Amino acid sequence: MRMLKLTVVLGLLVSAVANCWAQPVALKFDNPEGRILQYKHTYRLFYFSNQAEILFGVQQAGASYDDDGNITFNSNFSRGGTFEMDVSGEWESREEVVGLAEDHPDSLMDVTRVKATILKADSRAVLAGKRLSFEQYPDNFEKFKDRAFSWFVNSKGEISNFEPEFYAYRLGREDLVTDLFLAWVPEYSLTLPDKPVSEGDTWTGEGAFKRRIEYRRLRNQDVFLNYKSLYRVKKIKRNKQKIEVEIEEEREVSYKGWIDVANASFVVDGKGTGTGKWVVDATRGLVLEHKVKFDITRPKVMTGFVNAEGNLAEIPDMVAEVKVNFERKLKKIEKE
């Protein structure tokens, strides 16, 4: 009888512990003042299309505009050949929470200011299978080394007011800030659920990120990345120190970006789909790791300058595809 009672008690204790560990997990981002995190980022954009001759130089193709602002080409110009370009880069950031965003209208809520200093940075371009030299591709992410950016962020991970802490014109190409924004800011955080989650739970979220191209030739033009995502909790790992939540993402995207490499300058605008994976430290409230990739199939491809009406001209009969990959990983917690 005593053995039976002991077995029942042990069974109840094991059941209670299991139920405790199976409790839903609340996800939020914590930004305590003074916290310093170091992240490593990698980015890659791959572009492929027909009509290489046009992309290498519209003026070389005998281009002109008709009365409606549409682009036309010299009848003697032969359009053909394929165009392939691969742009990749990486950077490491030291991100410090410097305090409440007192100059933000929501400063009385949960908005804090983050200052990120770029510790290392580089990018490169491969055109038609050949890597471009520094002379051919001088305006790259290396110019960000030792420079700082700041933004506002709340407990949902939502960013606003992303700006350089220096005069962008000192880069020689102010639009490099736009390139970094489009690669980095939309992937800073996922859309969090509005209630605690367990393994297998799903929710939806969306985001919209837009920035003006700081380049006179493309005046009044914006780049953007908008997404609508479905998230699913794949796994929850618990130990004495922290709770890690692994999340899968499926997304639909709308993307517009400017590609300006060597003699090729053009804008792509289209829709696509992608997948992502997030690993979140639910105890500390921060992202440990993030990977995402998406494809844009048959985007509009437009010349890299505006016409007399201030609009971009679409290049006719263009068949293109764009692939984007991004990874972000926590390298070091310098200060809690």
Q: Is residue 262 over pLDDT 70?
A: yes
With beta carbons less than 8 A apart as the criterion, state whether 270 and 255 touch: yes
Which is more confidently placed, 12 or 206? 206
Residue 87 lies in a domain: yes
At 5, the pLDDT band (50, 70, 90 cuts) reads very low
Residue with tokens 């009406």, as numbered in its chain: 309
Residue 315: predicted pLDDT: 87
Distance CA 29, CA 63 (A): 51
10 assigned to some structural domain? no
**Domain residues for 73?**
25-335
Q: Are 159 and 152 in contact (CB under 8 A)?
A: yes
pLDDT of residue 41 exceeding 50, the answer is: yes
269 within a domain of the structure (yes/no):
yes
For residue 164, name the pLDDT band (cuts at 50, 70, 90): very high
Task: For the chain, give the mean pLDDT.
Answer: 84
Say if 4 falls within a structural domain. no
Task: Please answer whether residues 74 and 59 qualify as being in contact, where contact means their C-beta atoms are separated by less than 8 angstroms.
Answer: no
Confidence of residue 80 (pLDDT cuts 50, 70, 90): low
Arithmetic mean of pLDDT, 288-296? 97
Average pLDDT over every residue of 223-243:
95
Three-state helix/strand/coil letters over 257-268: EEEEECCEEEEE
Q: In total, how many domains does the chain have?
A: 1
Which of 37-41, 159-163, 178-182, 258-262 bottoms out in mean pLDDT, i.e. has the lowest? 258-262
Q: Which residue has the tokens 């790992």?
A: 237
> What confidence score (pLDDT) does residue 214 get?
77
The verdict on residue 148 lying in a domain is yes
Rounded to an integer, the average pLDDT of 251-276 is 92
- The answer to whether 221 and 311 have CB atoms below 8 angstroms apart is no
Mean pLDDT of 76-87: 71
Phi, psi (degrees; rounded to nearest 5) at 168: -60, -25
Q: What are phi and psi of 66, to 5 degrees?
A: -85, -175
Distance (Å, whole) CA 137 – CA 126 = 10
Q: Is the pLDDT of residue 6 over 60?
A: no
Residue 259 within a domain: yes
CATH number of the domain residue 296 falls in: 2.30.230
Are residues 233 and 203 in contact, defined by beta-carbon separation less than 8 angstroms? Answer: no
Is the per-residue pLDDT at 216 higher than 90?
no
151-165, 196-210, 224-238, 241-255: least confidently modelled range:
151-165
Residues whose CB is less than 8 angstroms from the CB of residue 298 and which lie 6 or more positions away in sequence, other chains included: 270, 319, 320, 321
- Is the confidence at residue 239, as pLDDT, over 90? no
Whole-angstrom distance, CA of residue 33 vs CA of residue 97: 5
Residue 184 has pLDDT above 70, yes or no: yes
Q: What is the mean pLDDT of residues 29-56?
A: 91
Question: Per mean pLDDT, which range of 55-64, 85-94, 236-245, 265-274 is the poorest?
Answer: 55-64
Percent of the chain with pLDDT over 90: 56
Cα 252–Cα 231–Cα 91 angle in degrees, nearest 5:
75
Indicate whether 241 pLDDT > 90: no
Asked if residue 149 is part of any domain, the answer here is yes
Give residue 128's pLDDT: 78
The two structure tokens encoding residue 294: 């998406």
7 falls within a domain: no
Question: What pLDDT score does 14 carry?
Answer: 39
